[in-house]
Structure formats: C-alpha cells, structure tokens
Chains A and B, each alone.
Chain A
C-alpha cells in the first residue's frame, strides 16, 4: 500500500471512532431524557394506586414463583421462607432443586415437613427427568410450597421444569437467593391487568444490591451502603442501567432483557415459544427476544413492561474474581442471543425491535468492549511510534470522563428523586466519591471480563460455567444470574 492509502485508511478509522463516540453519547442523552419523562409519569400515576384491593381479591390471577436452586443448602431454608411471605393471595412457590449434590433436599424436607406426591407432569417443554420427585408440605402453613427434585440440567432447564409444573396463569422466575419485598408480586402483576389494547407478555423488575443491608427472617430491615468501593461502584452501575437505561427502553417498548433474577411472564406464551433455551448462558435475555419475535411474527400488539420500584434485592459479587466471571457470562449470553436472533437485526419486518432495539444492543452493548479495545490498541501503537499529540489525547480523555460522571450523577439524581433508598447521612458523599473513581476501579475489570468473554465465546466454546463457592450470607454468584 502506498502511504497515501494508509493515510486515508487511518483517517477513515479516526472518523469512524468519532462517529461511534458521538452516537453512543447521543443515545445516552436521548435515553436519559426519555427516562426522566417516564419516571415522572410513573411516579405520578403510581401515587394513586391502591394495592390492597388486588391483594385480597379472590379473582386476582394466579402466579407461580419458580426458583431454581443448585447447591444452596446454606441458605435455602431462609430463602424459601422469604419467598413464602409474599402478601399476594393467589400464588405458589415452586423450588426446583436442579440436581444439587449437597443436602438441600433433605434440609427442605425436614424444615417444611415435605412428603412426596403423585404428580403427572405435562411435559410441554422437554427437560431433564425428575430425580427424587415432587414434594409438598403436610403442614397447611406451607401449602403454597412445591419442591421439585430433578437431575441437573442448568438454570434454564430447571426453569422449564417449573413452567411444566405450574398450573397458574403467570410465572415469576427468580433466583432463589433473591429477597423479594412482600408487595413485589402485586406490583409486578399490575401491567398485565392494566393493559387493555395490548398484550403484556412479561414484566421486568429492578435488581437492587443487598450487600451490607440488614436482612432478618427474609425481610429487608435496613438499607446500607457497602464499604468497599467496588461494591458501591456496582450499585452506581445498576442505578444507571435500571433507572436510566431500562426505564427509557420500556417507554419505547424496546426492552430486550429482563433480569434473570426477577421477571414475571405470561406462562402460556413462555411455553408456546418453547421455554428457556438450555444451550445459552444468557437464557434470561434470549427468552425475551424469542417471545418478542414470536409476537411480532404473529402480528399481535404486545408489550414488555417494566416496574422500576426496588422490589428485589440480591447479593452482588464482592470480589473481582467473581465479578469477572459473572460479567464474562453476561457477555457470552449477549453474544449468543444476538447471534441466534440475527434475523431480527436491521429487519424492517420487526419494526422497532429490528430497527432500534437490536441495533442498539449490537453496536452499543455487544460491540462496545471490542471498539474500546481496538481504540486502546490503536492508541498504544501511536504511543509506541511516538505519534501521539498528548494534548489532544488528554482533551478527549477528559471529555469522555466528564460524560461518564454526568450520566452517573444524573442516575443518582433520579434515584434521589424517586426512591431515595440511601437516606443515611454521608452516603451521598460516598456515592459521589465512588462516581469519580468508578471509571478506574470498576470499568477496567468489566472491560477485561467482556474481552475474555469474547475470547471464550470464539475460541473456548466448551467453557463450562465454574462451580460456585460461597461463604455465609455473602455469596459469589456463579449459578445465578442477574
């Protein structure tokens, strides 16, 4: 290549970068504005809602909570107790013990007076077979509880078993170690019951980080900010993602993912699309995309709703190692889902799903780490060749950094104006300090995890998600997904 072509190529490269950056920033600005509008609207509307009536009504629809458990014996008794203490009337809890190798089942049988029952499963979705069978309690106090013991097949397979067993209209798929607030179910069911002209196929909930919070008898007693910066940084990340990102996408009816830790589904549709995909690590995103696609293909008006209230609290990784393996998995989940549904992307037949949601996820979620890595490598080459105009570079870095700060602070603002969960004195300062440090203490690790995720996806296909370790209440999350 002659020097001129090289020069032109480099120039094109530069402009592509610039365009990408401007596009990312614009999309964030737009999403923030939409989310602000939607949040105000939601808060206004919600101030009128009286949840007590739906709670007690005998005609409120039936819900099954499906919670897969794998080697959870340490906390399984308390976790189940928390799930059983919902204030909703018409619901049951299906715990799917997914081939645990510990004594989870024995502990459950003992704590809840379980006995094996005869139950013919309508195997609408093929799953791994039962192991010990299906259990119910002899104690009427736990009549809402069903425990299923099956052979190990992974989280998606366990959820599918739950879908087969449930006799109810709606299913709440959640992680067994999630703490659900008592009014979570009635809040989540509301969008389904309120819709008149569209069919709501699923409702997504918000995940809040429970690290350092005081939990007693399955109830959230006191909300605290953790001490470690890395955990606070994750709180900020969640606030940004849930209060800015998802809120806006729900307004655009473009949500592509419902957190696997807590979502409510129309069971009929979840089964009609074939349940969860057992071949991906991103089953929570994949099923939503598939359900959307199904509705688009049927040409029915539908919606994926979203409830921003802090209803579900869970432990986030408290060390970098678990964090990296969690994010690695999320990355692979996203890649797999987008690849599997490539047909949707840029396809006008799928309207906003194909022209807006999919491209956004592809470019700004899936490609972001790769673009960032390419940028870093390119920059490194320039440094090595001593081509860098340091004053220019500095200006770009400072601008990018300030954008990050702005969005995070806007997210904190949004939290303060809506739910104001971190009330204690001094927490505001801690949040701000972490905001300033987050790009250095959390982002590099997330980028690293995403890159490794890409490498694992392309070059290390057999990678199994590692066995999990846990210590007391603070757990590392390998099996459960957020």
Chain B
C-alpha cells in the first residue's frame, strides 16, 4: 500500500509531459503484452489450421473419390453415394469445411473431363453447394459476390446468365472481371456480346485473360466485330483489334483504315497499325506513308517496325527520305530494308554525315 501511494504521489508531482509519457508507457506495455499473446495464438492457430485443413482435405478427398468411384460401377445412385451426399451436405454448413470441399471439387473439375466430370457436376448440384454459391451473388460485399461467380463459372452453372450479365459494369473491378470471365467461359464467343454495353474499361490484363479462354473453344466462330471496333469505349476497340489480329478477320479491312485515319486515341492507332501489318494489308502501307509526317513519334516507329517485311522496291524513295530521320530506330530500319532490297545502293551510300548515328549505322550495315 505504501508503495502504491508512493507511486501515485510521484506521478502527481510530475510535469504534464512526463505524466503523458507514463500513461503511454502503461498503455504500450499492455499493447505489447497483448500483441505478444495474440502473436503466439495466431501462430498456433495458423499451424493448427494447416493441420486441420490437411486432415479435412484427406477426409473429403477420400469421400469424393469414393463417390466418383462408386458411380462407375452402377447406374443408379448407391446407398454409399447417398450417405456420402448426406455427409457432405451437413459439412457444408460450416464455411471452413465448405471452402475445402469446393476447392477439392474445383481442382478436380479443372483437370478431368468425360463422364467423371459430369459426376463431379452432379455431386455439386446434389449436395446443394450450388444454392449457397448462388446466394452469394446477393451479398453486398464485392469479395463474396466475386467468389460466388467464380465458383459458378468453374461448375458451369449456366442458369444465372441474366443475373451475371447485369454485373459486367459493376462498380467493383473484381466483380466486373469475374462476371466477364463467367460469360466467356460458359458461352464462348457468344458471351462476348457484353462488350456492346460495356462502359467500364477493360484492362490489358482482362483482355489477355478473355482471349486465352476464347482460344480454348474448339468452335472458333467469331461474331461480327465491326460494332466493337466502332465502340466509344477505347478499351473495347483495343480488344476488338486483338480479336481481328488473332482470328485474321480480313473482312474488317476498311474499318481498320478508318480507325487509323480517325481515331483520336494514340494507343488505339498504334494497335491498328500493328494489326494492319499482321494482316499484311499492303494498301494500308500506302495510306500510312501518305500520312506519315502527321503521325506521332511512337506511331512512326510502330509503322516501321511492323511493316519492316512488307516494304518493297517501290518504297525506295520513301525509305531514302527517312535514312536521316531523327529517330534511331527509323534510320536503322530504313537502312536495313534498303540493304535487303538493294545492297549495291546501300554500299554506295556516303558514310560521312553530320548525323553521327547515321554514319554509325551505315558503317555497321556495310561491314556486317
């Protein structure tokens, strides 16, 4: 008691700042103590979770494999199967267990085809997992909605099509992306129709993903891309250009030339130039040459790089005009093309010039 009073008296006589320091010390000591306890608990929990997860994993894996396996033997659902479904049904009430079960099914679903894949599908529907996934779509949390869509995508649940379609312009980017992936994964090229109503941007990353999924479809019948090329959403135009390039859609040639001439976005223009060269549209070369001086630096470089192999002897004058262009790449490429088209001419080119880069390139090309 005396000690206690002694400390209190000591505290009361301290200046204000020191009083605060002591309060801080007491608070922080408690915080540090609690943090250490929590840290210990957290590490224990993590380790335990890892153990439990692997235990559950083994348990449900065995159940699921038993289910799939017994199916091969019999046409009708066996007693064993019914009991497995019952067990799983009761387990999925627990979110932790549900996640594990779904993860097992998902991984299997991705790697297996044929009748066994159908059986996995049946199991997913039968156990009611599908219903809880659907109910996730109504959540207010973007995280939950995205998770729900992703799961339904993986299990090819087509009937929520209309609901998902409404989400392609959702304010959260992940929800948008998952719903777009849903449409493409399940409906292939037909799913692309969402592009018409897309007002939100489609990032390069999203585009690459969608294109990769499309390539998995054996039916490569692509719908009309013209309306997407004319979209007011630049990222949709960019995506449509990639489709043109990958699926060699020569039919839209005129549209591409219009894009090149009129589109205000530099990135789109650059992509258009690349696509024109990919499709080997030679008349585009003439059009671009005519407008060459009005192009931006990046567009000019892109043109030279993309059309490098499409230049022929007719273009000699144009190339000669550009051998002292201020951009290194353009000089180098024009001289390289000239060497390919007319080596004697290149060898005759003067090496002396006030443009040192030019001199360096010509000397290099003449000797190598």
Residues of A within 8 A of B329 (CB): 122
Residues of B within 8 A of A124 (CB): 328
Residues of B within 8 A of A50 (CB): 209
Q: Does A410 contact B (CB under 8 A)?
A: yes
Q: Does A60 contact B (CB under 8 A)?
A: yes
Residues of B within 8 A of A399 (CB): 21, 24-25, 28
B47 touches A423 (CB 8 A): yes
Q: Does B251 contact A (CB under 8 A)?
A: no
Interface residues on B, range: 35 or more
Residues of B within 8 A of A44 (CB): 143
Q: Which of A407-453 contact B (CB under 8 A)?
A: 409-410, 412-413, 416-417, 420, 423, 425, 428, 432
Stretch of B61-69, B87-95, B199-207, B314-322 at the chain-chain interface? B199-207
B208 touches A57 (CB 8 A): yes
Interface residues on A, range: 35 or more
Q: Does B332 contact A (CB under 8 A)?
A: yes
Within 8 Å by CB of A395, from B22, B29, B32, B35, lies B22
Q: Does A54 contact B (CB under 8 A)?
A: yes
Residues of A within 8 A of B36 (CB): 409, 432
Given the complex of chains A and B, what is the CA–CA distance between A403 and B211 in angstroms? 51
Would you call the interface of chain B mostly helix, strand, loop, or mixed?
helix
Given the complex of chains A and B, what is the CA–CA distance between A192 and B328 in angstroms? 26
A416 touches B43 (CB 8 A): yes
Residues of B within 8 A of A48 (CB): 146-147, 150, 174, 177-178
Residues of B within 8 A of A403 (CB): 28
B214 to chain A, nearest CB (A): 11
A169 to chain B, nearest CB (A): 11
Within 8 Å by CB of B364, from A60, A120, A190, A196, lies A120
Q: Which of B214-268 contact A (CB under 8 A)?
A: 235, 242, 246
A60 touches B208 (CB 8 A): yes
Q: Which of B172-220 contact A (CB under 8 A)?
A: 174, 177-178, 201-206, 208-209, 211-213
Within 8 Å by CB of A193, from B31, B38, B205, B212, lies B205
Chain A residues with CB under 8 Å of chain B are 18, 44-45, 48, 50, 53-54, 56-57, 59-61, 118, 120, 122, 124, 190, 192-197, 392, 395-396, 398-399, 402-403, 405-406, 409-410, 412-413, 416-417, 420, 423, 425, 428, 432
What are 19 A-B pairs at a CB distance below 8 A?
A: A44-B143, A48-B146, A48-B147, A48-B150, A48-B174, A50-B209, A56-B212, A59-B208, A59-B246, A118-B368, A122-B332, A194-B204, A399-B25, A402-B31, A405-B32, A410-B35, A413-B35, A416-B43, A423-B46
Chain B residues with CB under 8 Å of chain A are 17-18, 21-22, 24-25, 28-29, 31-32, 35-36, 38-40, 42-43, 46-47, 50, 143, 146-147, 150, 174, 177-178, 201-206, 208-209, 211-213, 235, 242, 246, 328-329, 332, 360-361, 364, 368
